[in-house]
Chain A
Amino acid sequence: MNKTTLAGISIVGIMALAALAAPWLSPCQPAQIDAGNILCSPSAGHLLGTDSLGRDVLSRLIYGSRISLSVGIIAVGISTILGVFFGALAGFYGKAVDALIMRVVDVMLCFPTFFLILAAVAFLDSSIFNIMVIIGLTNWMGPARLVRAEIMALKEREFVEAARACGAGNLRIIVRHMLPNACGPLLVNATLSVAGAILLESGLSFLGLGVQPPVPSWGNMLTEAKATLGVAWWITVFPGSAIFLAILGFNFIAEGIRKDLG
């Protein structure tokens, strides 16, 4: 494992641990209002200060990581599963199946994803679950194209012919013999996509269409911090840095895996 991967895994690992241990790690309840300590700068009592309602920024940040990481990972899980399914179908069967799936992909790619999500969120209520599903449903085209290309190349490989000569059926050939060989690029893509999904979720929450207050997410913390940006820098800087670090971490992991794969 190279240094890039290690750095990425450290950043993401610490965040994941913090998210898991949130109830024990955070000094206060994330929604607990302390009217006597509004807009406190970072101090021993509140390590990262308090916001305009007197809520502890550190606690909100830790609880926010739960939202960001789970949305990122589950959304990418959904899009990768869909992408693998449609990509494998298109790549393996080719012809009409391929043409149909790839045209759907092209059409989906024509929409600016962010506005598609905005439109979808406008019709549905913006629960965390809905956001995961919507991000997942609008991002499967990338993995689908990737898997399709891999499968098309693998189809010509001799071991696939050998598997057929051993009496393996199409399903077994795709699942057991082809997909494991397509894992590497898929893993890199998925890791990069997690970073993208975290950014998407933050953007949605920032616009007020994602996770709704009082549930803290890095995105909606930034929205609330906007009003007091001139007097309280810490409310903006820390959630912003958290988003930055999370994305950096996932990009590092992806870059590291890519390097290791050669």
Chain B
Amino acid sequence: MKEEPLLLVKGLNVVFRYPGKEITAARGVSFAVGRNETLVMAGESGSGKSVTALSVCGLLPEESASVSGSARFEGEELIGMPQKQLRSFRGRRIAYIFQEPASYLNPVYTIGEQIAEVIRLHRGAVRAAAWREAEHLLELSGISCPQRAARSYPHQLSGGMNQRAAISMALACRPELLIADEPTTSLDMTTEAEIVKLLTRLKKELGFSLLFITHNLAIAERIADKVAVMFRGELVEYRVKEELFASPAHAHTKELLAAYEKVGRFLEV
């Protein structure tokens, strides 16, 4: 029998219910992320990429979003799992990074405090050890002066630095899966290239699977093993990267590729 992939999503539906209105944000989405594999999920704004990623860990507001289908992480069903149990997955085994690093970091705590908090929360480390680990993680994320960065508040750092800090925080508990939700969209091209390069390096060093959400196919070409293209809540194409770039099947993929060929340069650093 073939081994089950790390994350196996089957027939995932997400419906947002508002008074007098229902919006289907994801319809029958199925994909898998294997160990140490990179899956890039591409698609235009509002195509359901983020919603799919958030629903995996039950992070959508329960009162308005109803999630059905199946998402198995190492054989354990995540959809419908009680919040209390899900919390032991979040941060520890499945970590997230988001688009606007500055607003996803708490403005009243220093970077070091925030990373240390995650370490203490999941690993029960003492304050001093957690702080040292936080500095180590910042260094690992390519911050040149980790001691100083650890004592800085998010508003004192640049977008790129903040995203590196957010990556350090996400990797604090050595998760098996990192879900990166458009982590470079708010950054300039140079920084974007650096962050993508950093993620590639960290993935090699620490060994985790990566679900990378973007609308930039250039990044997909650079880092993906497999590419999934989403369009209006449906997964329209899900294939090995080389195949997809060689012979796009769906009209929307062709459009994305055409856009990429026209303007989408990916800066090499």
Give me the interface of A with B, judged by CB distance under 8 Å. 157-159, 161-169, 172, 176-177, 180-181, 183
Contacts and interface: CB of A to CB of B under 8 A. Distances in A.
Interface stretch (B5-13, B91-99, B125-133, B236-244): B91-99
A167 B88 contact: yes
B90 A167 contact: yes
B87 interface: yes
A166 B169 contact: yes
Contacts of A157: 103
B106 interface: yes
Contacts of B59: 161, 164-165
B108 A162 contact: no
Contacts of A180: 106, 108-109
Contacts of A181: 106-108
B65 interface: no
A53 B95 CA distance: 75
Interface stretch (B26-34, B116-124, B253-261): B116-124
A159 B91 contact: no
A167 B96 contact: no
B100 interface: yes
Q: Which 5 pairs show the lowest CB-CB distances between chains A and B?
A: A167-B91, A166-B91, A167-B90, A165-B96, A162-B104
A161 B57 CA distance: 12
Given A161-B59, A162-B166, A165-B96, 8 more contacts: A158-B100, A161-B104, A162-B104, A165-B57, A166-B91, A167-B122, A168-B91, A169-B87
A165 B107 contact: no
Interface in B146-186: 166, 169
B105 interface: yes
A162 B87 contact: no
Contact of B90 (A159, A166, A177): A166
B106 A166 contact: no
B92 A159 contact: no
B89 A167 contact: yes
Nearest to B93: A167
Given A158-B98, A172-B121, A176-B117, A164 B90 contact: yes
Interface in B70-90: 84, 87-90
Contacts of B91: 165-168
Nearest to B106: A159
B105 A166 contact: no
Interface string B40-78: 000000000000000001010000000000000000000
B117 A162 contact: no
B106 A177 contact: yes
Contacts of B96: 162, 165-166
A167 B95 CA distance: 9
A172 B90 CA distance: 14
Contacts of B118: 166-167
A183 B107 CA distance: 12
Nearest to A160: B106
26 contacts: A158-B100, A159-B103, A159-B104, A159-B105, A161-B59, A162-B96, A162-B98, A162-B104, A162-B106, A162-B166, A163-B106, A165-B59, A165-B91, A166-B95, A166-B121, A167-B87, A167-B89, A167-B90, A167-B91, A167-B92, A168-B91, A169-B84, A172-B121, A177-B106, A181-B107, A181-B108
